[in-house]
Amino acid sequence: MKNFSNLYQVSKTVRFELKPIGNTLENIKNKSLLKNDSIRAESYQKMKKTIDEFHKYFIDLALNNKKLSYLNEYIALYTQSAEAKKEDKFKADFKKVQDNLRKEIVSSFTEGEAKAIFSVLDKKELITIELEKWKNENNLAVYLDESFKSFTTYFTGFHQNRKNMYSAEANSTAIAYRLIHENLPKFIENSKAFEKSSQIAELQPKIEKLYKEFEAYLNVNSISELFEIDYFNEVLTQKGITVYNNIIGGRTATEGKQKIQGLNEIINLYNQTKPKNERLPKLKQLYKQILSDRISLSFLPDAFTEGKQVLKAVFEFYKINLLSYKQDGVEESQNLLELIQQVVKNLGNQDVNKIYLKNDTSLTTIAQQLFGDFSVFSAALQYRYETVVNPKYTAEYQKANEAKQEKLDKEKIKFVKQDYFSIAFLQEVVADYVKTLDENLDWKQKYTPSCIADYFTTHFIAKKENEADKTFNFIANIKAKYQCIQGILEQADDYEDELKQDQKLIDNIKFFLDAILEVVHFIKPLHLKSESITEKDNAFYDVFENYYEALNVVTPLYNMVRNYVTQKPYSTEKIKLNFENAQLLNGWDANKEKDYLTTILKRDGNYFLAIMDKKHNKTFQQFTEDDENYEKIVYKLLPGVNKMLPKVFFSNKNIAFFNPSKEILDNYKNNTHKKGATFNLKDCHALIDFFKDSLNKHEDWKYFDFQFSETKTYQDLSGFYKEVEHQGYKINFKKVSVSQIDTLIEEGKMYLFQIYNKDFSPYAKGKPNMHTLYWKALFETQNLENVIYKLNGQAEIFFRKASIKKKNIITHKAHQPIAAKNPLTPTAKNTFAYDLIKDKRYTVDKFQFHVPITMNFKATGNSYINQDVLAYLKDNPEVNIIGLDRGERHLVYLTLIDQKGTILLQESLNVIQDEKTHTPYHTLLDNKEIARDKARKNWGSIESIKELKEGYISQVVHKITKMMIEHNAIVVMEDLNFGFKRGRFKVEKQIYQKLEKMLIDKLNYLVLKDKQPHELGGLYNALQLTNKFESFQKMGKQSGFLFYVPAWNTSKIDPTTGFVNYFYTKYENVEKAKTFFSKFDSILYNKTKGYFEFVVKNYSDFNPKAADTRQEWTICTHGERIETKRQKEQNNNFVSTTIQLTEQFVNFFEKVGLDLSKELKTQLIAQNEKSFFEELFHLLKLTLQMRNSESHTEIDYLISPVANEKGIFYDSRKATASLPIDADANGAYHIAKKGLWIMEQINKTNSEDDLKKVKLAISNREWLQYVQQVQKK
């Protein structure tokens, strides 16, 4: 791996604490520096609101008079039939027109009057010019803080965030998305609805009157013109949206203004006089522009600061949003919960062909609730596809090769996984599917012809905690929960207690809000996304969506209340310090110290940050040397070489001094030095010679003592510029008097901080952390002679105020035993000679120092190293393979194999071991998660698990990287983008992804502390074994020495035969069962061996996916299995039972009178009872069950139902070190085996071109062919 070092630059921010020295802190406080920056931080929050108001102004300015040219194309597609909308061509065309419309919106920001403003929206000119100009021209009473004109960099992050609004991508935070994806569909639906109203003669006078009321605001001749597609151009701005929404919703009576009926109130009054089938659909108001609230949450502050606010907000939500809900177009207030109950109760009377359910986990929930089987809808949809949508599917699949099968699978999945299905369609497919099932099948008994629509009536019931609890519908449950807190909510103004300490009240508030959330979750499957183009029942959705949106206000309320009552006793908030200088820490150059005010000092192995007071900014130029001295850095940098050299040498101020010839000047203007049509190498060399001479003339830059290559060796300017850049960085040291520094601190002319972490403590033990090593390297002679680590500008200082008050500090007294955090420590309790303070870092004020550095400063290589890695791996027998897998019983499992497939090491990473300690992270994380779950359920203060998880991941990364070097190994991991495994895993996707990201980051720049500095992997010769990280999506199947494989069939696979279970063992009806068992070549009892044998001659008869893999298998009832299921007599808890397979089969077969001495297949097929085949499938399913576990025990093993060629059944309990020793080890082993397959593909290549095209993705069929063939060798 020696070629994989010093390849590319890596940027990092190192972080330290700052400890004030001498009178520094006192002087900072006396000069109000902390106070001023705290005020500035508060002012920044107000300024952000002002900038948002400016953005609103700009959006209206840019979109005013905009004419979209793709609206007619959009509406033509939007109004196509529901069937047409399922076609891929429609989806592609619709996406294209949406894209074009978004681009048209975005183009407005760079046209006309908007263009100049848009160019400075994220620049300092916004703060220094535009805001004030806008305020004055429009005579606005907005907040402006003049001081930010010299602190414009404060807004860099905020500007970047707001820039996302102007994106042309389909992002929900973008202006274009709001208009095209959310408002345009509403606009079209409103036009359809208005067309119906406009045909009712008795409504015309009222509509005309409405037009007269708003005529002054409208640029149309009648209300009907508002609903023509071209009018959408008028509702791009917030002003236009407001007028449009007022037409729909009317205007309430305010001082000096009369109430005006809107269209919806006109329609509502009309509907009250008509039967349901003659009622008109209402219209929907458009969403406000980005930066304006969709729903009024006036009862919610930005955040709760006291318990009284919480109680008042909960009370107002219940009384105003729920009990006194104001429906658009209806005078009197109504009970929102009763309205919701009524609208879902009437589902069966609506057009259920146009009412939809979201096809996600909510569908499986409904199936479980209705039928006691979560798979009903999935099975019914698959049956519909295979019998109606593509009746040739099964026959085509059986004949197809793998590529064709994948195509068929994708087409089927596309149908089954549609975003929404209508209730009528689901009812229809279930009705067809149910006909194929036995009459007495449990869930068939629960089926009715309207069961899906009826679900929202029959199951409008609150979940019971215990079976014995009384049954309440949702409304009664909410009322009951409210009564528990009614008294205190109604007296909220008088509440003076500390809510956070009243756990009973917190619980009751939570129960109440939970009861409301339960209704939200219950009706959510009916909620359609606003951009959905499904043909829908407007009469239903016009009402339902308004109700849903109003009820869902409980979600932000719930989150805010929870966040308040579970707040930590401390705050992590910090403010940025500026020391009254906007340029503070922008750089370190000695010439700019008076501007940046900062430098770094060294003394006795410690480092210090010195900051000059702004009024004494020339202090650093007056230092003297003494007997006792600090070493002050003298930092020199020639920045941005390719721009800086021409700027300085050709500037009007300097041109006479550097004196370029007329030929040099003419050629430079003609760009003959630049690569392209006008490039001339001779002219380029002449320019380089001029630059060389000028650098030696420059008063400041000649300090660098440049040593250049011969001019004729440069092929262009870039090589020369790179040499200048690499030599244009120097740090020297100058001695400065300690007493002089002390005096400056005393006089308040300088602020001095020690740059500190635990490694700088006089009591520090062990090896320093990486941040310390990097920091020290910046100033070491061996680095400065050949720069690897470069100190950068743009550092920052932060201040975090102590947030735990003295009275709330929790102290564990010295010499008192305390439970050890690590249960594996030799003593269960520890004793310390000093007090332990909980969350000590939050009990004191802290200064923090963040410093960016560049590592591998002189590296010029490519950060994409995949091809170099493949070349290194090819025909390299010394390379080994590490497989990593998440386990059900193990956080992460690791297996190391060689290129023969031999296991060299297999290890669970539940416990991390080093020379001194064993840390049981699995136990620690389990315990922490249990405590967090309990706190979450009870809204208690949730202990952070982040540090524990990050500590664990850090240890795992260290172990893996060390093994990669020691064993010359690649690492193979589960591909997170391939379809992540579901299940009860200890390390979920987010954490596993964090492990992956941390591993990539570590391998970007791998320094091993036990290596000598210049040794491979040492501080000055770091290994770079992965590509520079961009995103998981862009990563593909490889990042340097990391490879990603699908986890499909890596855990539940026999490592000695490659057998995987392709059988479908779910009982559906007797005929299907007979057909299934008739496919076995024979079924018999092997008396000699003492088990039953199900002999398969053609595995693909059972499942076409088995085609082209091993076909002959003998499934045996050897051994035992563990069956886990709920037991009513055990309070419906899961109970595990060990089943002796053969014994169970014998008892079952003898019970029904089968002759075990004869061939059994014919006898089985002759059976006609449902109960017989249900039990037979049950026992066969247990036989095929490879993984067997008992919860809360150590029992967890893998056993195969197939004997290998030696006649041995793989059983992980009996496995030697040459095979996976438990079920999770099997997953890691086979992930490593997929890595072995990758190695073989690399070795098969014959040329560099082949290597570039090498296939790294293994298909499911290729995997089985590979692992099964390997076993036969």
Question: Encoding tokens for residue 1015?
Answer: 């040794």
Known catalytic residue at 1224? yes
Question: Encoding tokens for residue 603?
Answer: 């003394």
> What is the predicted pLDDT for the residue at 977?
61
Alpha-carbon distance 1248 to 1230, whole Å?
29
Distances in Å between the Cα of 1036 and the Cα atoms of 1031, 1049, 1234, 1256 are 10, 21, 16, 9
Burial zone of 1099 (CB within 10 Å; 0-12 exposed, 13-18 middle, 19+ buried): buried
With 70 as the cut, is the pLDDT of residue 257 above it?
Answer: no
With 90 as the cut, is the pLDDT of residue 87 above it?
Answer: no
User: Which has the higher per-residue pLDDT, 356 or 980?
Assistant: 356
Known catalytic residue at 974? yes
Per annotation, catalytic residue among 149, 674, 838, 1181: 838
Torsions phi, psi for 85 (to 5 deg): -70, -10
Distances in Å between the Cα of 1152 and the Cα atoms of 1085, 1172, 1179, 1181 are 16, 8, 15, 19
Please report which confidence band the pLDDT of residue 1273 belongs to, taking 50, 70 and 90 as the band edges.
Answer: very low
With 70 as the cut, is the pLDDT of residue 1092 above it?
Answer: yes
Query: Are 611 and 604 in contact, with CB atoms under 8 Å apart?
Result: no
Q: Show Cβ contacts of residue 246 under 8 Å, excluding neighbours closer than 6 positions.
A: 214, 260, 262
Question: Encoding tokens for residue 574?
Answer: 């910090």
Query: Are 1261 and 402 in contact, with CB atoms under 8 Å apart?
Result: yes
Strands (E) in 1097-1158, as ranges, are: 1113-1116, 1120-1127, 1133-1140
Torsions phi, psi for 100 (to 5 deg): -65, -40
Alpha-carbon distance 109 to 984, whole Å?
49
With 50 as the cut, is the pLDDT of residue 551 above it?
Answer: yes
Residue burial 649-673, b: 16+ Cβ < 10 Å; e: rest: bbeeeeeeebebeeebeebbeeebb
With 60 as the cut, is the pLDDT of residue 401 above it?
Answer: yes
Alpha-carbon distance 778 to 784, whole Å?
7
> What is the predicted pLDDT for the residue at 843?
80
Q: pLDDT tens for residues 880-896?
A: 999 998 777 888 899 99
Q: Which of 80-84, 512-516, 929-933, 1032-1036 has the lowest mean pLDDT?
A: 929-933
With 80 as the cut, is the pLDDT of residue 737 above it?
Answer: yes
Known catalytic residue at 169? no
> What is the predicted pLDDT for the residue at 946?
73
Residue with tokens 């060389």: 692
Alpha-carbon distance 901 to 313, whole Å?
64
| Strand, coil or helix: 500 | helix
> What is the predicted pLDDT for the residue at 295?
45
Per annotation, catalytic residue among 613, 683, 974, 1222: 974
Closest CA to 942 of 569, 508, 507: 569
Residue with tokens 């689901």: 426
Known catalytic residue at 435? no
Average pLDDT over the chain reads 89
Per annotation, catalytic residue among 328, 683, 723, 885: 885
Per annotation, catalytic residue among 276, 812, 1089, 1151: 812
DSSP 854-879: EESTT--S-S--HHHHHHHHTT-TT-
| Strand, coil or helix: 28 | helix
Residue with tokens 């009412």: 355
> What is the predicted pLDDT for the residue at 940?
65
Strands (E) in 455-592, as ranges, are: 575-577
Per annotation, catalytic residue among 821, 934, 1158, 1252: 821
> What is the predicted pLDDT for the residue at 987?
47
Enumerate long-range contacts of 766-774, CB under 8 Å, 24 or more apart. 767/1009, 770/1007, 771/14, 771/15, 771/16, 773/1007, 773/1009, 773/1019, 774/12, 774/14, 774/853, 774/855
SS (H, E, C) 800-852: ECCCCCHHHCCEECCCCCEECCCCCCCCCEECCCCCEECCHHHCCCEEEEEEE
Known catalytic residue at 454? no
* Mean pLDDT across 789-804: 92
With 80 as the cut, is the pLDDT of residue 991 above it?
Answer: no
Query: Are 1016 and 5 in contact, with CB atoms under 8 Å apart?
Result: yes
* Mean pLDDT across 763-788: 93
DSSP 1013-1073: TTSTTSTTS-B--SPPP--STT-TTEETTEEEE--TTSSSS-TTT------------HHHH
* Mean pLDDT across 489-496: 85
Q: pLDDT tens for residues 10-38?
A: 999 999 999 999 999 999 999 999 999 99
Q: pLDDT tens for residues 1137-1183?
A: 999 999 999 999 999 999 999 999 999 999 999 999 999 999 999 99
User: Which has the higher per-residue pLDDT, 1204 or 1191?
Assistant: 1204
Alpha-carbon distance 416 to 359, whole Å?
9
> What is the predicted pLDDT for the residue at 1202?
97
> What is the predicted pLDDT for the residue at 904?
97
With 50 as the cut, is the pLDDT of residue 983 above it?
Answer: no
* Residues linked to residue 846 through DSSP beta bridges, in sequence order: 800
Burial zone of 329 (CB within 10 Å; 0-12 exposed, 13-18 middle, 19+ buried): buried
Burial zone of 851 (CB within 10 Å; 0-12 exposed, 13-18 middle, 19+ buried): buried
* Mean pLDDT across 279-306: 77
DSSP 730-798: EEEEEEEEHHHHHHHHHTTSEEEEEEE-GGGSTT--SPPPHHHHHHHHHT-HHHHHS-SEEE-S--EEE
Q: pLDDT tens for residues 324-337?
A: 988 766 667 899 99
> What is the predicted pLDDT for the residue at 468?
64
Query: Where are the alpha helices (H) located in 253-305, listed in sequence order?
Result: 263-271
Task: Give the helix/strand (H/E) hosting 502.
Answer: none
Question: Encoding tokens for residue 1066?
Answer: 């779910």
Alpha-carbon distance 837 to 842, whole Å?
10
Torsions phi, psi for 1149 (to 5 deg): -65, -40
Question: Encoding tokens for residue 571?
Answer: 């705050």
* pLDDT > 90: percent of the chain: 64
Known catalytic residue at 986? no
Alpha-carbon distance 851 to 853, whole Å?
7
Indicate the DSSP class of residue 3.
T
> What is the predicted pLDDT for the residue at 1128?
66
* pLDDT > 70: percent of the chain: 94
* Mean pLDDT across 442-470: 85
Please report which confidence band the pLDDT of residue 820 belongs to, taking 50, 70 and 90 as the band edges.
Answer: low
With 60 as the cut, is the pLDDT of residue 297 above it?
Answer: no
